[in-house]
Amino acid sequence: MLHPLDDLPIHQTSEPLAHVATGDRNAYDRYFFNGYTADGSVFFAAALGVYPNRQVIDASFSVVRDGVQTSVHASGRLDPGRLRTQVGPIEVQVPEPMRRLRVVVGPNEAGVLADVTFAARTEAVEEPRFTVRRGTRIVMDYTRLTQFGTWRGQLSIGDDVVALDGLDVLGTRDRSWGIRSVGEREGGAPGPAPQFFWLWAPLNLGSRCLHVDFQEDATGRRAHANGEVVPLLASTDAPVDLVAPAAERAADVAHHITWRAGTRRAEAASITLQPHGRDSVVAELEPILDFQMLGIGYLHPGWGHGSWRGESAVGVESWRLDELDPLALQHLHVQQLCRVRVGDEVGTGVLEQLVIGPHEPSGFTGLADGAG
């Protein structure tokens, strides 16, 4: 089970805090956050990761405003104690584990500044441990917690100042730790052609939250699938409950994606959760904004997670989202801000998609062909 100290980057294994260590160079421990307004006028995300066997710490903060995504990246040598969660201008603080976390972005060349605090509106949910093997090698073996919340504070892009005010700005954060392919490529014989199908959907509603994730092979067979119906906290001041289940795990989950022509991104989607002994819960998703995960390091050719860039490095970049090639490999990983409908209830959430290589149910046959 989860413990409040699981919010600190001190894990040595893919178990929650107190099990055998690993010497795998791809061991990691990471924070992720996103936040958004319901109309999509602002969407931001942050990530900070430590890689103890690579002696690297890195972080990114990225914001979409008026169709432009602007990012700040930082990387450096990891403090051996792993308790200093700051690199360059980006810092993650944990003033109250499992309840409040703070993200600060100091001065940088992009003019992106932030001082924002995440407040939980649910307990943290422990997702099932996720393990992937290729031949004899474990390439993924991690635990993740996911939590829904609100944001307060302020961020700015140059002269454009955005005040974040509680329930008007919802979001999600996660913590994951274990083993994942990061950093520079390793040697050895070539492996199989890349194939990965991943959906991750944390959905904020007024009365509850929903969370699902899927990973499938090229035929559509599931390697990992999970769904949760997550109740809201009575108060963010409620003490952390380490015993009671944080959510109701669905007996089954399903997804249906209508792919946008010429892309591997959803035009529309539906997510179905089947609780034990009760009526199914169907969420209809309408994407309204695409956020490039490249902006926080995922699939980034220069600022990829865990790569050594020297003792201290900071970089910035910006692009118009409508000018990017959606089928370029580095652009395949996206989070779409979605309007969510469950019956008469309307909320907002995110549908994360990373689809590389063949996926028979979707009609994809190549490395990065788009929908017809």
pTM of the model: 0.93
Q: What stretches in the chain show pLDDT beneath 50?
A: 18-20
Single out the residue of 44, 22, 27 nearest to residue 35, CA to CA: 44
Q: Read off φ and ψ for residue 5, nearest 5 degrees.
A: -70, -10
Task: Report the CATH fold assignment for 4-183+193-362.
Answer: AttH-like fold (2.40.370)
pLDDT tens across 234-275, in order?
887 888 988 788 899 999 999 999 999 999 999 999 999 999
Do the beta carbons of residue 183 and residue 25 sit within 8 Å? yes
- Cα→Cα distances 187→137, 248, 300, Å: 13, 43, 20
pLDDT of residue 20: 40
Question: How far, in Å, CA of 302 to CA of 305, rounded?
Answer: 9
How many H-runs (helices) and E-runs (strands) does the chain carry?
0, 22
pLDDT tens across 83-141, in order?
899 999 999 999 999 999 999 999 999 999 999 999 999 999 999 998 888 877 888 89
Single out the residue of 259, 273, 109 nearest to residue 205, CA to CA: 273
Question: How far, in Å, CA of 59 to CA of 46, rounded?
Answer: 7
**What is the domain partition of the chain in residue ranges?**
4-183+193-362
Pairing outcome for strands 27-37 and 252-259? unpaired
Question: How far, in Å, CA of 153 to CA of 199, rounded?
Answer: 30
Ramachandran region, residue 98 (left: φ > 0; alpha: ψ -120 to 50; beta: rest): left
DSSP string across 89-115: TEEEEEEETTTEEEEEE---TT-EEEE
